[in-house]
Amino acid sequence: MRIIAFVTQKGGSGKSTLASCVAVAAHQAGERVFVIDMDNLGSLVKWSKARKAKDIPVEAVPAGKLRQVLAALEKQGFTLVVIDTPGAEEGAVTAAARNADLCIVPARPNAFDLWGSEKTRAAIRALGRDYAFLLNQCPPAQQSARVEMGAAALEAMGGLLTPLVSARVDYQEAARLGRGVTECAPHGVAAEEMRALWASIKRRLNRGAAKKAPAKAATRTAAKPAGKTGAKARAA
Ligand SMILES: Nc1ncnc2c1ncn2[C@@H]1O[C@H](COP(=O)(O)OP(=O)(O)O)[C@@H](O)[C@H]1O
Ligand SMILES: [Mg+2]
């Protein structure tokens, strides 16, 4: 079972929107997905009520119970847990990050989000967890200088997931209906972005697992000089 957490101290950058759409895309790709909503606002609990279908269970879980709930989910055979976190409540964010295989930090291409991302990155690094950034709500003509600068800044901070996610009404409409964009408008650009995003998250998770697993391989290569650890090496 793999665990991804959408985290950033900056509100409104798209944690809940992306968590729900990625959960649906992963479900459609064959994962057994469980969503944990750690935000008191309960965005994804409400999303689930609007969804009605019980195919992707959503539960509000407080920080103190997270580990216990994750252990139970693993026993039940879920293959992916998607955690949505609040912007500001440190206990929940720390618990989510500590338990996640990958922390995904969404940011919009503006200065306040990018500065907020630096703070979030410092908090995740202090916990020793893996993370990747995600640029969200990019103007649909993606090549604007602002988007390029945002992408470069996040890349330099430690790796940017592909693709860049555009600002589209489809995302808002899907949330309102308790669905993912891959369900509401499966042939649209947003749906394509979410399928590609799930593929890129999955690659990143597999790479993380491969790094952790072969202890023997690690000893074998220990004599070699350490590889590059810069932005390029980390980019997903
Ligand atoms: N890619 C996107 N395109 C259009 N609107 C978006 C997109 N991502 C998020 N939004 C909108 O931005 C607002 C904040 O998103 P939300 O997911 O609630 O952020 P967070 O959970 O980080 O506070 C919501 O109104 C949401 O509909
Ligand atoms: Mg939210």
What is the per-residue pLDDT for 172? 98
Q: State pLDDT tens for residues 119-145.
A: 999 999 999 999 999 999 998 775 688
**Res. 229 pLDDT band, cuts 50 70 90:** very low
> Which residues does 159 contact at the CB level (< 8 Å), separation at least 6?
131, 132, 133, 231, 234, 235, 236
137 ligand 1 Cβ < 6 A: yes
In the chain, what are the domain boundaries? Answer: 2-104+169-211+227-234
Q: How many other β-carbons are positioned within 10 Å of the β-carbon of residue 146?
A: 13
pLDDT tier, 215 (very low <50, low <70, confident <90, very high otherwise): low
> Longest Cα pair distance anywhere in the chain, in angstroms?
55
Tens digit of pLDDT for each residue in 69-110? 999 999 999 999 999 999 887 899 999 999 999 999 999 999
Q: Evaluate the CA torsion angle 25, 27, 33, 38 in order and state its sign.
A: positive
User: Is 217 a residue whose pLDDT tops 60?
Assistant: no
43 C-alpha to ligand 2 centroid (Å) = 6
Q: Supply the DSSP symbol for 187.
A: T
Among residues 89, 88, 119, which one has the least CA distance to residue 105? 119
Q: Which residues pair with 83 in a beta bridge?
A: 5, 36
Q: Is 20 in the pocket of ligand 1 (CB under 6 A)?
A: no
pLDDT at 227 over 50: no
pLDDT digits 0-9 by tens, 31-63: 999 999 999 999 999 999 999 899 999 999 999
| 65 pLDDT more than 90 | yes
Provide φ and ψ at 31, rounded to 5°: -75, 150
From the CA of 13, give the closest atom in ligand 1.
Answer: 22
Distance 71 CA to ligand 1 centre (A): 30
Do 107 and 117 contact (CB within 8 A), yes or no? yes
CA of 12 to the centre of ligand 1 (A): 6
pLDDT at 142: 59
Give the global pTM. Answer: 0.89
Residue nearest to atom 2 of ligand 1 (CA): 167
Token couple for 184: 């509401």
Query: Token pair of 82, please?
Result: 């998607």
pLDDT (average), residues 133-161 = 83
> How far is residue 57's CA from residue 53's CA, in Å, rounded to a whole number?
9
- Residue keyed to tokens 């996610």: 165
Residue 214, pLDDT score: 62
Q: Which helix (H) or strand (E) holds 112?
A: helix 111-126
Per the model's pLDDT, the better-predicted residue between 21 and 219 turns out to be 21
Positive or negative torsion for Cα 169, 205, 70, 66: negative
Choosing among 1.10.40.30, 3.40.50.300, 3.60.20.10, 3.90.470.20, the CATH entry for 2-104+169-211+227-234 is: 3.40.50.300
Please report the atom of ligand 1 found closest to the CA of residue 165: 1
Question: CA 14 to CA 108: how far, in whole Å?
Answer: 8
